[in-house]
Copies of this chain bind each other. A is one copy, B any other.
Amino acid sequence: MARKYDVIGLGNAIVDVLAPVDDDFILTHQVVKNAMMLIDEFRAQQLYQAFGDKVEAAGGSVANSMAGLASFGARGKFVGKVKADRLGEAFAESLIANGTDFTTAPASEGPATACCLIAVPPDAQRAMNTFLGASRRLGPDDIVADDIAAANIVYVEGYLCDSEVSLQAAHKAAAIAKQTGTKIAITLSDSFCVGRYRDEFLTFLKDVDVVFANEEEAKSLFEVEDFDDALQRFKAWHGITALTRGAKGCVAVGGGEVHVVDAAAVSQVLDTTGAGDQFAAGFLFGLSTGRTLAECGKLGSLAAAEVISHFGARPDVLLQDLARETGLI
C-alpha cells in the first residue's frame, strides 16, 4: 500500500497544562486526584490562573499517537479542531515540528482551544481537568475525502463521541474510507467513555477494521467481568483487536489468530501517561507496513515501554532507532 500517509488520525486537539501544586491547592480548588473531569471554560480559566509554574505540552490521545508514528518514521496527518489562539498555535506547531501534517482550519470564534489542566500534587496522583473547548467543534466539513483516500489507515479517537458533530465527522471519514479502501481503526479511549456510548461503539464496530482497547474498556464494551470473555467476543468479530493489559502485556487478535505478547522490558516506570497512545502508534506502524500481528504487538509494546520510562505522553527518543536496535524493524 504505497499511499501518501500511513495513518490519518482524527481526535480531540488538546494542550496539556501541567503545574506542581501543594495539598492546599487540591482542597482550595476542589480538584480530584487520580481522575479526569470535564470542566467548562470559566473553571478552566480559574484553574489556569491559579496554576503557578506551568508547563504546556501538546496532548490529546490520537495526537500523541501521531507523534509516536512520526517517531517511527511513518507519514501521518492529524485532523482536529483548535481555535486561532495561542494554545491552538502551540498545538499545531508541536505536530508540524515532529513531522505530522496538520491543516484543519482553526475556529475563528467560539470557545478557546481545548486544554487539560493537570494539577500534580507531591504524591504525583494527578488531577486532570479537561476543557474540551474548540476541539468539540470538529465536524464533517473538516473531513477531506482526498486525505482519507491518501491514507492506509484512518485512526479515530473514541472520545469524539462526546461531541455530536465530531461523531458525525468520524462517520463521514469512515464512509469515505469504506469507498477508498482505507482501513478504519478506533480506540475506545476510556472505560467511562465506553459506558456513555456503548451502543454507538457497538454499531460502529460493524464498519471498523481495527480496535484498540485496554482491559477495562474491552470488558465495559461487552459488559463482561472476565478479560477472556471480552477476548472471545473480539475473536468472534471480523476485525483485528489489540488488547492492552499494562504490565501483563497485550493480546493481539484477528483472522482466527491470537497472540499473547509480553510487555517490553523497562528499566523504570516513571509515568504511565501516554502508554496506550504510544502502544497504538507502534501497532498501527506495524499494520501500515504489512507486519504480522505478533510483530505489531511487539512494536506497540516497545513504544509503550519507552514512554512510561520518563515523564510526558510522547516519546523522548526516536522510536525508529529503538526498533532497529531491538531488531524489530
Contacts and interface: CB of A to CB of B under 8 A. Distances in A.
A243 to B, nearest CB: 9
A263 to B, nearest CB: 10
Interface in A97-138: none
A68 to B, nearest CB: 22
A232 interface: yes
B260 A251 contact: yes
Contact of A260 (B228, B262, B294, B297): B228
A227 interface: yes
B294 A259 contact: no
Contact of A259 (B231, B256, B262): B231
B294 A262 contact: no
Interface residues of A, number: 17
Counting every copy of the chain, the complex holds 2
A66 to B, nearest CB: 28
Interface in A234-259: 235, 248, 251, 256, 258-259
A261 interface: yes
Interface string A293-314: 0100100000000000000000
A231 to B, nearest CB: 6
Contacts of A262: 226-228
Interface string A69-113: 000000000000000000000000000000000000000000000
Contact of A248 (B229, B232, B248, B259): B248
Interface centre among A228, A232, A262 (most CB of B within 10 A): A228
A261 B294 contact: no
Nearest to A258: B258
A300 to B, nearest CB: 13
Interface string A278-306: 00000000000000001001000000000
Contacts of A251: 260
A249 to B, nearest CB: 8
A238 to B, nearest CB: 16
A151 to B, nearest CB: 29
Nearest to A249: B248
Contacts of A248: 248
Nearest to A248: B248
Contact of A261 (B228, B256, B259): B228
Contacts of A231: 258-260
Contacts of A232: 259, 294
Contacts of A256: 256
23 contacts: A226-B262, A226-B294, A227-B260, A227-B262, A228-B259, A228-B260, A228-B261, A228-B262, A228-B294, A228-B297, A229-B294, A231-B258, A231-B259, A231-B260, A232-B259, A232-B294, A235-B258, A248-B248, A251-B260, A256-B256, A258-B258, A258-B260, A260-B260
Interface of A: 226-229, 231-232, 235, 248, 251, 256, 258-262, 294, 297
7 A-B pairs with the lowest CB-CB distances in the bound complex, closest first: A258-B258, A228-B259, A228-B260, A228-B294, A228-B261, A231-B260, A251-B260
Given A228-B260, A228-B261, A258-B258, 10 more contacts: A227-B262, A228-B259, A228-B262, A231-B259, A231-B260, A232-B294, A235-B258, A248-B248, A258-B260, A260-B260
